[in-house]
Amino acid sequence: MNKYYADYAATSPIHPDVVEEMTKVMHHIYGNPSSIHAYGREARKIIDEARNVIAKSIHANFNEIIFTSGGTEADNMALIGTAYANKDKGKHIITTAIEHHAVLHTCEFLEQNGFEVTYLPVDKTGRVSVEDVKNALRDDTILVSVMFANNEVGTIQPIAEIGQLLSDHQAYFHTDAVQAYGLLPIDVKKMHIDLLSVSAHKINGPKGIGFLYENTGVRLQPYFYGGEQERKRRAGTENVPGIAGFKKAVEIIQKDRQKKYDFYEQLREKFIQRLKEESINFKINGSESNYLPHIINVSFPGTDVEAFLVNLDLEGISASSGSACTAGSLEPSHVLRAMYGSESDELFNSIRFSFGLGVTLEDVEDIAKITAKVVKRLTD
Ligand SMILES: Cc1ncc(COP(=O)(O)O)c(C=O)c1O
């Protein structure tokens, strides 16, 4: 039986060149980057070069990149760090109902600690309205956090417009770009973004490394105390091999970004076309115009998501529901709930397919064919 991985939005395989780069660093460069001797300087050089490449990739300055252990830490740092450092200016935060839990659960923590959070709704395509952001803004709003693109349905948010809206307000603008980075062009200066989170393992880099972009001038309170690494923002000896691998992954993903984007569009079209040819009942969840091409969330009326995923797995396809698995059962997706309401069928019959490095047109045809077979089995 052939096996198909269709869960690239959860995580992606490491690119062989990234493995090679990391292996080289692990073998030869073991100095502590804070040491002033030759071994330390060698390690420091790796970090500096990576910081340079990564800063350029979003049009940021060298000293505006803070390496973290991944997207979750970057989100926590952005939210908790700015909330605590700016509480003299206000305690109101705005976010959306469809954020990743790295943002939502952090907001819940902040609510338990005296901050007030407004959760903006989204429309049926999963998009937040700039008008809603505007109406929610108050004089005491200190932070607005809206994800660049959603990890479950792929909907891209109006980031540049929100950035523009906030450019003359005291509130900082944070965006979780974990899914968008590497596929969409990002210019933090033009888009008026103050804080931006990225994770390496979504772009064929290693797990356990990411960064937070922090615009110069943002007041951010650290929550790690120790050494003076990362301009005192994030104490602890740096993950040098991880950072080296991250840099390589960024270089690779940037090389043919548009070509990759176009190819993912082709994969998407082929997948949808093949499902149509199979004459099964399905509907795409998300936006028809503002979407990440590699994430396709599909509702199959008359099916049950848990049985569906098990059947796909038995047929060799690893896909996801996009929602969290808690204590062995699937929680209905908070993203689909925000889009359709808590009673809607989509919450219980939607599957997220996501594609990436190495997936071919033939693969997506096979995945669509097998998926249709499962749909027929489950709805007969
Ligand atoms: C949108 C989004 N934010 C944050 C994260 C968390 O990133 P990490 O796994 O690097 O902690 C993810 C990963 O699933 C994500 O999709």
Per-residue pLDDT of the chain (380 residues; tens, 9 = 90+): 899 999 999 999 999 999 999 999 999 999 999 999 999 999 999 999 999 999 999 999 999 999 999 999 999 999 999 999 999 999 999 999 999 999 999 999 999 999 999 999 999 999 999 999 999 999 999 999 999 999 999 999 999 999 999 999 999 999 999 999 999 999 999 999 999 999 999 999 999 999 999 999 999 999 889 999 999 999 999 999 999 999 999 999 999 899 999 999 999 999 999 999 999 999 999 999 999 999 999 999 999 999 999 999 999 999 999 665 555 667 899 999 999 999 999 999 999 999 999 999 999 999 999 999 999 999 98
**Among the three residues 227, 255, 283, which one is the final residue of a domain in this structure?**
255
Give distance in angstroms: CA of 113 to centre of ligand 1.
24
Q: 112: domain CATH number?
A: 3.40.640.10
Q: Do 250 and 303 belong to one domain?
A: no
Q: State whether 315 and 244 are in the same domain.
A: no
In angstroms, what is the span from residue 380 Cα to ligand 1's centroid?
A: 37
Determine the distance separating the centroid of ligand 1 and the alpha carbon of 201, expressed in angstroms: 9
Task: Please check whether residues 189 and 84 belong to one and the same domain.
Answer: yes
Count the helices and strands in the chain (H runs, E runs). 12, 14
- Using left for φ > 0, alpha for ψ between -120 and 50, and beta otherwise, residue 114 falls in left
206 C-beta closer than 6 A to ligand 1: no
Q: Are residues 198 and 275 in the same domain?
A: no
What does the pLDDT read at residue 75?
98
Q: In this structure, are 321 and 182 located in the same domain? A: no
Distance from the Cα of residue 61 to its chain's centroid: 22
pLDDT at 331: 83
CATH of the domain at 349: 3.90.1150.10
Question: Are 239 and 112 in a shared domain?
Answer: yes
Domain C-terminal end among 255, 277, 312: 255
The rounded Å distance from CA 378 to ligand 1 centre is 32
Specify the ligand 1 atom closest to the Cα of 207: 10
Q: In whole angstroms, what is the distance from residue 321 CA to residue 300 CA?
A: 12
Q: What is the pLDDT of residue 330?
A: 75
Are residues 136 and 46 part of one domain? Answer: yes
Choose one of 8, 11, 72 to mutate for the ligand 1 pocket test, by most ligand atoms within 8 angstroms of C-beta: 72
How many domains does the chain fold into?
A: 2
CB atoms near residue 234 (< 10 Å): 23
Same domain, yes or no: 210 and 326: no
- Domain check: are 237 and 322 in the same one? no
What are the residue numbers of the active site?
325
| Ligand 1 close to Cβ of residue 102 (< 6 A) | yes
| Claim to verify: residue 251 and residue 305 sit in the same structural domain | no
Instruction: Specify the pLDDT at position 280.
Output: 96
Q: Which of 255, 276, 301 is the last residue of a domain?
A: 255
Instruction: Let me know whether 223 and 269 are in one domain.
Output: no
Residue type, 306: E
For the Cβ of 203 lying below 6 angstroms from any atom of ligand 1, the answer is no
CA distances to 125, 254, 305, 345 from 88, rounded to whole Å, are 37, 40, 46, 45
219 and 139 housed in the same domain: yes
Domain encompassing residue 260: 4-12+256-379
**126 Cβ below 6 A of ligand 1:** no
